[in-house]
Structure formats: structure tokens, C-alpha cells
Structure 1
């Protein structure tokens, strides 16, 4: 699911001017934004730890949703009681967005993580805003400025560096894994474009809670359709890491991002999310013993620079 830690939440809230925010509130909000980005990026680390056990992507994503679904269901029920009912058009749009943005995107992501490093996975997902820009250009005929072209070129050069490095290191199925994660980023980009007007009508909390409930039902149903019920019995660490994946890498980042946006505004919270790929790279080295090379650092720097340039374009 997306790199900028739930970009739709960030962009759907009116930005606050940092100069008008008390320093203590600003620093606290910034810390929450960074923490949310790091937690969301840690999802890839947890997935790699889970793959050490006899589980696959279908099982991992189902267990993730089993633990996060009750939280989003409670929030959705609360929203249903306090907010006016949705039109049938909005309901069907929410179903579609939940399936594309959270189910399909997450499924492709976890499938891809079986084949590539967490560092490369996070960098590819971090390109989501560039895919939003490209899709907008192709289908909505939006013009791309020179600064945006420079941002795109810089980001993709960084991905090529890391991709070639991993390919030369002998990683198996690197092309397959990268393609799957690329599909995840594209799916989430479609979700972002489709949710733009809806989030203005119903609000970010309502959109995310409803869409996550749809995705949770799809992921859990997929498990029972494709896997025997006996696969619910797993080693104890699988339940523990799945709880971490569902609560600390899914639920908490959503609400931390919302709190950060409320405190420090959308632009600052969005740019704080750029810590995600960097944290994933170093966490992968510390926890998974994935090597950090100069090529990876250079590629990460180029991707971050490209996304930063893109974020400067209003």
C-alpha cells in the first residue's frame, strides 16, 4: 500500500502554516508523522519475518486483516451512527476503492516481497505519486512541467540503480518481484485518483475505515477460498508477527498520520513520510541482514530527491 503513509489522508486535509503553530506542537506533530511513516514501512520487515514460516502471501495478508479488521469495523460503525447515510453511488465507489486500493495493492505488495529486498520494495512503492502524475497526464490530459519531468527522471534513475544492483547480486526472481510491487504502486495510484472527490464528500476517516473493511472481507474470504481451514493453525510467532503487522504497521500509522496532519498540516506531514524508504533500508540491514551498499544509498537518495522535487510543485 502506499509509500507516503496514506497519501489520501494527507492531501485531503487543509494545510496549516508551520509559522503559526507553537514549537512544541509542531515538533510533537513532526515526531508523530515520522513515527507513522516508519511504522508503515516496517510492514515489509514483518512480512519477511513471517515468510520464514510455512506461510504465503495469501495467509500473511489474511492474518494481517484479521487483526486490523475489528478496529476499522468499530470506527466504521461509529461513523455510520454519527454521519448521514451514503448514497448508493458512494457505497459502490467505496467497494471499488477498497478492492483496488487496499486489497489488490496489498496483495501484489506481499506477493512481491517474497522475491525482492525490503529496500527495493519500499523505493518502488515510494514512486506512487509519480504514477498518479503519469496517469493524470495520460487519462486527464494534465500537463507536466519541467520540474515534474526532472522529478520523474531523478526518481526512476534511482530505482534503476537499486534494481540493477539487486539483479547483479544474484537475487532470484527480482524481475517478477519488482513487477508485482510495481503493480501494487499502480493500484494504489488508481485508488488515490478515484478517491479525490469522495474524500471531500465523506471525510478521510470514513473513507479509510469503510475501504479497509471492504479490503479485510476480501482478503479473509480469499484465504478461505484458496487455502484449507487448517492453515489457520500456525506456529505461535506467526500470530505474534501478524498482530504487529495488523496493529502497529496498519492501524497505528493511519491514525498517527491523521493526528500529524491535524497538528502540522498536510505538506509537512507528507514530506516527513520521506523517512520511510531510509528507515526500511537500515531496518532491513539490522533485522534481516540485508546489505547496504553505495549503489543502494545512491539510488535511495535519487528517489527521495525526485519525490521531494515533486512535492515542491503545488
Structure 2
């Protein structure tokens, strides 16, 4: 006769958490590749962003509705108008403007270079946290920032010699995406404490969806939606495969492994993007670009690991 202990469900092995985290990182890494393929189909950034948000919107509407129902069932007070408005603004900043700037940048630079620039956003979180919110800044963050951007400078110089205009425009747009996403992270962290992760994410994504679709209506004719079936499939892949699904996988990973482990797994994202760019897009990678990428990966990976350990012992 089995005991109650034997009958009790066993916790999921950590390997499952690592698998979820790696899968989420790989799917996030695929975003730039899919966007490049969509551009090759003749889809412009505004149309592609609107389609991405429109296809992902139903998921967040359902999840948001479930979150509100659960709060009511527990007798918890719903967030006030002020917090909702702040969440709408922060969502538009992080998921509309940052995404739009990233989409614009990808029209000018390679997918692998774009991913490396975005990968430096944790350093901007530290810098803006110190400048705007009075958070302490440590010397290792400045060293990591210097090393990462030295690596990016190598790649920038390599691309600048081949196509100066595109390199400058693309780097500026993706840099703006990294900066605004860092600001989003700082402002969102304050709202998450009072509104909850699930509901905040849904409000933020709904806000970004409305703005993205509104932008399309203003700047593009409706016949821009008449894209090829393959282009439509790519838009669905960005919405589901590179937006909704990886967000669930990352949350599932965080339930099974530490945030520190999940952060380190995310370092595979730029590497995967570079490999996919070579295999699918036919992008070439020079020795200088590999050296620059290594500097970025090592510096940000080291900073993320050390910062996670420092937070863990608090």
C-alpha cells in the first residue's frame, strides 16, 4: 500500500525549467529573423507591428479577464484609475515605441547586430536607475558597459565601412529601443508591486496594441494589409511564436529555476540569432564581428550573473 508521500505529486525536475528557459530565449531570438523575412515580402514596419499586436491582442485580453476574475473571486480590490493609466503609458513606451524603434532599426542593420545592441539594455537599467530614481550604481556596471560597447564599436566600424548610412540609422533606432525598454523596466517594476504581473502585462500589451493599430490607420492605407499568405504567416509567427509563447515559457521557467539561472540561459539569445541569421538569412560574420560579439556576451553575462548573485544574498 503506497503512502501519502508516494501519492503526492513530485516537483518538476530543474531540467524542465532549463528547457523552458532555453526554449523561450530561442523563440525571442527568432524575432529579428522573422522580421527580416517579412521585410523581404515587402511588408513595411508599421504594418508588420500592427499585425503582430493585433494577432497577440486576443491572448492578453483573455489572460487579463482571467486575472480580474481571480482578483474578484479572492475579494481583492481592482487597481485604481491612476495605476491603470500609468500602466497604459508604460506599456505604450515599452511595447509600442521600443518595438517600433527596433522594427525600424532592423530595416537597416543585420539581425545579429540588432540583437547584440538590445542585449545591453540591463546596463541602461542600472544607469537610468541611478540618474532618475536615486538607485546606487556599482563600478562593475560601468566596466561592463565599457566592455560591451567596445565590442559593439568593433561591429559598428566593420559595418560602417560597408554602408555608413544604414549602419548609423539602424544603430540609433535599435539603441533607442534598448534605452526605452530599460526605462520601461524601471517604471514597470514599481507598478508590478501594486497591480500584479499578469494584469500589468495584459494592460501594457493592450495599450501597445491599440497604439500600434492606431498608428497604422494614420500612416498607412488599409490596402497595405493585402499581404501575401506567406507574409501573413510570418506576422502570425511573430505574434505567437516570438511574443506570446516565449513570455509563457519564461514564466514557466521562473517557477522551476532561479531568476539567476534564467538570466544566464537568456545569454544564448544573441548567439542563436547570429546562427539563425547565417543559416536562414545568409548573413556573413567576420572575425571582427565575432570578437565584438564575444565582448558583448561576456561582459553582459558576467554583469547579469554577478548582479543576480548580489540580489540573491540580500
Pairwise same-fold verdict (TM > 0.5): yes
Shift of 1:199: 1.0
Structure ID, larger Rg: 2
Shift of 1:248: 0.3
Instruction: Report if aligned partners of 1:45, 1:284 keep a CA contact under 8 Å in 2.
Output: yes
Partner of 2:194: 201
1:273 to 258, 262, 266: 266
Partner of 1:43: 31
Query: Structure 1 stretch 48-57 or stretch 23-32: which is displaced more?
Result: 23-32
Taking the aligned partners of 2:95 and 2:174, their CA distance within structure 1 comes to 13
Taking the aligned partners of 2:242 and 2:189, their CA distance within structure 1 comes to 24
Q: How many residue pairs get matched?
A: 293
Taking the aligned partners of 1:259 and 1:87, their CA distance within structure 2 comes to 29
Task: Give unpaired runs (5+ residues) of structure 1.
Answer: 1-21
2:55 to 52, 67, 90: 67
Cα distance 1:78–1:24, how it changes in 2: closer, same or farther (>3 A)?
closer
Say whether 1:229 aligns with 2:222: yes
Task: Using structure 2 for the length normalisation, give the TM-score.
Answer: 0.90
The Cα offsets for residues 77-117 of structure 1, whole Å up to 9 and x where unpaired, read as 11122224111121011111111010000000001100000
The Cα offsets for residues 51-92 of structure 1, whole Å up to 9 and x where unpaired, read as 012221101101111211111111111112222411112101
Partner of 1:219: 212
1:286 to 264, 273, 279: 279
Partner of 2:82: 89
Structure 2 matches for 1:60-209, cutoff 5 A? Answer: 60-83=48-71, 84-170=77-163, 172-209=165-202
The Cα offsets for residues 265-299 of structure 1, whole Å up to 9 and x where unpaired, read as 21111111111100001100000000022112111
Task: Using structure 1 for the length normalisation, give the TM-score.
Answer: 0.90
Cα distance 1:172–1:23, how it changes in 2: closer, same or farther (>3 A)?
farther
Shift of 1:209: 1.5
Taking the aligned partners of 1:143 and 1:63, their CA distance within structure 2 comes to 40
Query: Structure 1 stretch 271-280 or stretch 139-148: which is displaced more?
Result: 139-148
Instruction: Report if aligned partners of 2:151, 2:295 keep a CA contact under 8 Å in 1.
Output: yes
Cα distance 1:23–1:295, how it changes in 2: closer, same or farther (>3 A)?
farther
Shift of 1:23: 10
Partner of 1:263: 256
Taking the aligned partners of 1:217 and 1:81, their CA distance within structure 2 comes to 23
Q: In structure 1, the residue corresponding to 2:230 is in which secondary structure? A: helix
CA RMSD in angstroms comes to 1.5
Taking the aligned partners of 2:78 and 2:135, their CA distance within structure 1 comes to 34
Partner of 2:295: 302
Partner of 2:15: 27
Query: Structure 1 stretch 198-207 or stretch 88-97: which is displaced more?
Result: 198-207
Task: Give unpaired runs (5+ residues) of structure 2.
Answer: 1-9, 72-76
Taking the aligned partners of 2:153 and 2:186, their CA distance within structure 1 comes to 26
Partner of 2:5: none
